[in-house]
Amino acid sequence: MHILFIGDIVGRPGRDVVAAQLPRLKDALQLDFVVANGENAAGGFGLTRALADDLFALGIDCITTGNHWADQKEILSLIDQEDRILRPRNYPAGVPGKGVGLYHTRRDHRVLVMNVMGRVFMDPLDDPFAAVEAELSACPLGEGADAVIVDMHAEATSEKMAMGQFCDGRASLVVGTHSHIPTADAQILPQGTGYQSDAGACADYDSVIGMEKFEPVQRFVKKMHTSRFTPAMGPATLCAVFAVTEGAGFVSRIEPVRVGGRLAQTMPAL
């Protein structure tokens, strides 16, 4: 199975580069399943119904999120109706939405997607490792699902790497999100799980993690808040992770994808 995991889509530039590049990527990489983190799609903060529909129309099969998932309040009613949008699984009981979904590809592969959020330097949610353990036990790779994908939305690379090792041999792919910077550690772990600490963002990289430079620099230098963060509006780079799974659901190939914008380009060749 050919899987593409697209990093955090930040504002209009992120949406535009996905719209421009994803159709070509679907053909060139013969994609069976596409996951994208959409928590920053609406002006950098949250996701709306209209934008979710636009992303699904582009061929995205599942939208994961993170700490900004509820910034647009209309999502609170949508997320209970739309199974293809996930919020972190380790939110407390009673929060709208769900953190895991089982999806079928056009070739009838079963893909389990989990979305969890780290706790280091972030909100103290329920234990993400316990949440992932519960889902891996309920739907084991090779039995309940042909592929298992985990979006670990976290600040600390150590916590992301710990999740990768925790899932090794039990998940197909563990990818970190939230940092908006693509890491250079795409690898296959010893027991067959594909891993990258952060997929990066679909954003203008002449920025501070996708946001216009002035305000975040001002806050670091002068410790002053003068305005809200807004997405940088220059040409964006689509950052993603491409993975190929074999019969048992483990990864035989994993490579970063960077197309468009100002970052060095890299595109897997089949």
Residue 67 half-sphere exposure, CB side, CA atoms within 13 Å?
Answer: 15
Q: What is the pLDDT of residues 136-148, one digit of tens each?
A: 999 999 999 999 9
In the chain, what are the domain boundaries? 2-259
Asked if residue 241 lies in contact with residue 196, where contact means CB atoms within 8 angstroms, the answer is: yes
CA-based R_g, the chain, Å: 17
Q: 64 forms bridges with which residues in the sheet?
A: 37
Q: What is the pLDDT of residue 212?
A: 95
Q: What is the pLDDT of residues 200-234, one digit of tens each?
A: 999 999 999 999 999 999 999 999 888 899 999 99
Q: What is the pLDDT of residue 57?
A: 97
Asked if residue 63 lies in contact with residue 33, where contact means CB atoms within 8 angstroms, the answer is: no
Question: Taking the model in full, what pTM does it have?
Answer: 0.96
Q: How confident is the model at residue 251 (pLDDT cuts 50, 70, 90)?
A: very high
φ/ψ (deg, to 5) at 197: -65, -35
- Which amino acid is it at 118? G
Which residues are known to be catalytic? 68
Q: What is the pLDDT of residues 73-90, one digit of tens each?
A: 999 999 999 999 999 999
Q: What is the pLDDT of residues 109-168, one digit of tens each?
A: 999 999 999 999 999 999 999 999 999 999 999 999 999 999 999 999 999 999 999 999
When pLDDT is averaged across residues 48-56 and rounded to a whole number, the result is 97
When pLDDT is averaged across residues 87-107 and rounded to a whole number, the result is 96
What mean pLDDT, rounded, does the chain reach? 97
**Residue at token pair 């019969």:** 247
Q: What angle do CA 125, 155, 172 make, to 5 degrees?
A: 85
Going by C-alpha positions, the residue among 6, 97, 1, 129 that lies closest to residue 59 is 6
Q: 227 forms bridges with which residues in the sheet?
A: none
Domain 2-259 fold? Purple Acid Phosphatase; chain A, domain 2 (3.60.21)
- Neighbour-count burial of 130, counting CB atoms closer than 10 A to its CB (0-12 exposed, 13-18 middle, 19+ buried): exposed
Asked if residue 52 lies in contact with residue 85, where contact means CB atoms within 8 angstroms, the answer is: yes
